[in-house]
Structure 1
Amino acid sequence: MGVQRVALVAVLAVVGGVGVLLPYVAADMPTELEVEYLHEGKECGNPSKNGDTIFVRYTGRMHPDLGGAMFDSTNNRKPVKIVLGAGRVIRGWELGLLNMCPGGRRRITVPPTYGYDPGTHADVPEGSTVVFEMELVHIDDEDFWSKVKPGMWICFTAMVGCSIWYRIWKNTKEAAVKQQYKRVQ
């Protein structure tokens, strides 16, 4: 894990009604994506992968060394729908949500290089490290073929039945036309 050292920063504080510049040393900030497994979730045969449509709940906070203030959450909303690998969410989510099973929870620390592009999130200052607690709620195509097969058999049986009925109807009609043609001659 790489670490970026942030030098001395001056912070304006109001002390006794007077503005005073105080030194503040920011702690070491991560420069690489960090993924902490909080809960594995239920066992699944097909964990999340690129191309899957997944639904997640999350809480986004500033890095604890930047105050840890929450800037976004789905606590009072529906889970967010994401297509992994489509590039529609930050890169930290794309990588941090791979190989998860439903019910799994992770804490993903996202440095600026894996986070928001400048100006894309009003509540996140440019160059900030953010931390997300993510829960994978559902993988849309978790077991696609086992869900599709019963329906396919019904469709296949209906198609075969229609084909057989059509051939019988066609042969019967052709025989009737031939018989009527013979009577006319």
Structure 2
Amino acid sequence: MKPLHLLLPLASLAVAADLEVIKTHVPAECPYGVSQNGDTLAIHYRGFLEDGTEFFNTYARHRPYHFELGIGRVIKGWDRGLLGMCEGEKRTLVIPPELAYGDREVGVIPPGSTLRFETELKVIHRAGQEGKPRMRPQGAKLVKEEPKEELKEEAKEEVKEEPKDEPKEEPKEEPKEEVQEEVKVEEQPAHDEL
């Protein structure tokens, strides 16, 4: 049997290789349920190296990234770290090399890199529901919409009920102070000089 003090360093190495998931924003409601394996997700994200260098940003491209969760189309850290998210939720994932690209160099990502991703789940498309209207899961609240004609009638009734004989007080104008402002104009470099 090995002494405990010899096993503790090994335990700390195992913990260091774990995925870190930090929930930075959780919406008050989750009407479409949480992300599950097999769902197609639309995710906005920014990817960073350990030194803070940004290597990818979907916000800059104005298009979220779409992929199917849990089938190995993305790094393992994403398949695990994006499970159980609500639409609108934001998470920061700190992913060790073992759950990212390991010892491979991928683009600007050096081998053995721990990666940090700031993610935002925009849309969940349920497995098998592609091309179909989105449905709320059972038990989700639905808000009753009043037909437009009923709303118009209610508005007419409210207008009829307002007293018409009361004189309306005109707002008094307060004297305006004159303000003189000095404006400094600086020359800006032409766009192609940047």
Query: Does TM, normalized by the shorter one, top 0.5?
Result: yes
Distance 1:148 1:51 in 2: 16
Q: Is the 8 A contact 2:32 2:87 kept in 1?
A: no
Match 2:45 to one of 44, 47, 58 = 58
SS at match of 2:59: coil
Distance 1:92 1:68 in 2: 18
**C-alpha RMSD of the superposition:** 2.8
* Residue of structure 1 equivalent to 2:68: 83
Q: Do structure 1's residue 133 and structure 2's residue 133 form an aligned pair? A: no
Match 1:69 to one of 48, 53, 77 = 53
Distance 2:84 2:48 in 1: 23
Distance 1:91 1:60 in 2: 15
Q: Percent identity?
A: 36
Instruction: Provide structure 2 residue ranges, at least 5 long, that are not aligned to the other structure.
Output: 1-10, 136-194
CA deviation after TM superposition for structure 1 residue 141, in Å: 2.4
SS at match of 1:48: coil
TM-score, normalised relative to structure 1: 0.58
Q: 1:128 to 1:3 in 2, by over 3 A?
A: farther
CA deviation after TM superposition for structure 1 residue 118, in Å: 3.8
In structure 2, what residue type is equivalent to 1:69?
T
SS at match of 2:55: strand
In structure 2, what residue type is equivalent to 1:122?
G
Distance 1:31 1:141 in 2: 31
Distance 1:109 1:101 in 2: 19
Distance 1:52 1:37 in 2: 20
In structure 2, what residue type is equivalent to 1:57?
H
SS at match of 1:75: helix
* Residue of structure 1 equivalent to 2:20: 34
Aligned counterparts, 1:1-185, within 5 A = 3-4=12-13, 30-41=16-27, 42-63=29-50, 67-77=51-61, 78-119=63-104, 121-141=106-126, 147=133
Larger radius of gyration: 1
TM-score, normalised relative to structure 2: 0.56
Aligned residue-pair number: 122
In structure 1, what residue type is equivalent to 2:56?
D
Off by >4 Å, runs of 4+ in structure 1: none
CA deviation after TM superposition for structure 1 residue 45, in Å: 4.5
More strand by percentage? 1
Q: 1:124 to 1:139 in 2, by over 3 A?
A: same
Distance 1:81 1:45 in 2: 17
More helix by percentage? 1
SS at match of 2:80: helix
In structure 2, what residue type is equivalent to 1:72?
F
